[in-house]
């Protein structure tokens, strides 16, 4: 599109949708045919480059995120875990881990069906994301189990975060549909295990100790928090 007597040219960047545009402005003469042809080719090539970059970003996102919950997947959790442990060793800063399990989740699937179970998982994931800081790292560890890494956080602070998560889930009413398309409201609770990194812990030992604390919560009443000691 040429405006202002041909002194301004607007060249759209078009993919599956309009991505933006390149604008050329001449303060003297109108744009020449050669300049217009060059800018047209530039906008077309730029459109292709941007589309490829967006496609790559989409592929990368699906490679690192859990498709159902939008949290980091297990593989990305392990990558971030190793990164955070390395950072702790370099900077000597605190790091805590919270392992989370939805109480009696199998009963939800057995009673209302797997579609309802998926809805519960997505809702709990959203609660976790809402209650955490931007710097915290939440992942779906597997099944109905989640993991949270809390950089620059000591054990008492991590316990407070865990309690906030536990209470938020307990107070959340989840709307689900059963296998007969009836809309129902269900409530669930979570059990949590908390651990603070100690010198010489390997990445595996670090999250496994939080997982042992989680196991204690599950075997001593559920809907509670345990700290590994």
Q: Using CA atoms, how far apart are residues 109 and 4, in angstroms rounded to an integer?
A: 65
Q: Which helix (H) or strand (E) holds 131?
A: helix 114-131
What is the sign of the dihedral through the CA atoms of 169, 175, 178 and 182? positive
SS3 24: strand
Active-site entry in 84, 144, 145, 216: 144
Q: Using CA atoms, how far apart are residues 169 and 151, in angstroms rounded to an integer?
A: 22
Q: Is 144 a catalytic residue?
A: yes
CA distances from 97 to 94, 142, 158, 190 (A): 10, 16, 8, 16
CA distances from 61 to 17, 64, 69, 78, 104 (A): 20, 5, 13, 16, 31
Give the neighbor-by-neighbor strand order of the sheet with 137-142.
137-142, 145-151, 95-102, 190-196, 225-227
Burial pattern 35-73, b for ≥16 Cβ within 10 A else e, equals: ebeebeeebeebbeeeeeeeeeeeeeeeeebbeebebbb
Q: Which residues are catalytic?
A: 144
């Amino acid at each position: 599109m040429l405006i202002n007597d041909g002194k301004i040219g607007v060249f759209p960047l078009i993919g599956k949708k309009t991505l933006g545009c390149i604008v050329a402005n001449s303060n003297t003469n109108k744009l020449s045919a050669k300049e217009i042809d060059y800018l047209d080719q530039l906008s077309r090539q730029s459109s292709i480059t941007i589309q490829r970059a967006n496609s790559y970003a989409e592929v990368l996102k699906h490679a690192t995120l859990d498709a159902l919950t939008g949290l980091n997947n297990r593989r990305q959790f392990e990558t971030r875990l190793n990164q955070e442990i390395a950072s702790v060793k370099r900077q000597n800063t605190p790091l805590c881990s919270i392992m989370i399990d939805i109480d009696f989740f199998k009963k939800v699937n057995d009673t209302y069906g797997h579609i309802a179970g998926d809805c519960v998982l997505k809702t709990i994931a959203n609660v976790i994301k809402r209650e955490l800081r931007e710097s915290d790292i939440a992942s779906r560890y597997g099944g109905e189990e989640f993991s949270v890494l809390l950089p620059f956080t000591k054990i008492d602070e991590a316990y407070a975060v865990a309690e906030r998560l536990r209470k938020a889930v307990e107070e959340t009413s989840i709307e689900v549909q059963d296998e007969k398309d009836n809309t129902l409201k269900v409530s669930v609770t979570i059990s949590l295990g908390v651990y603070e990194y100690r010198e010489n812990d390997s990445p595996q030992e670090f999250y496994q100790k939080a997982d042992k604390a989680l196991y204690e919560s599950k075997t001593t009443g559920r809907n509670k928090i345990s700290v590994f000691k």
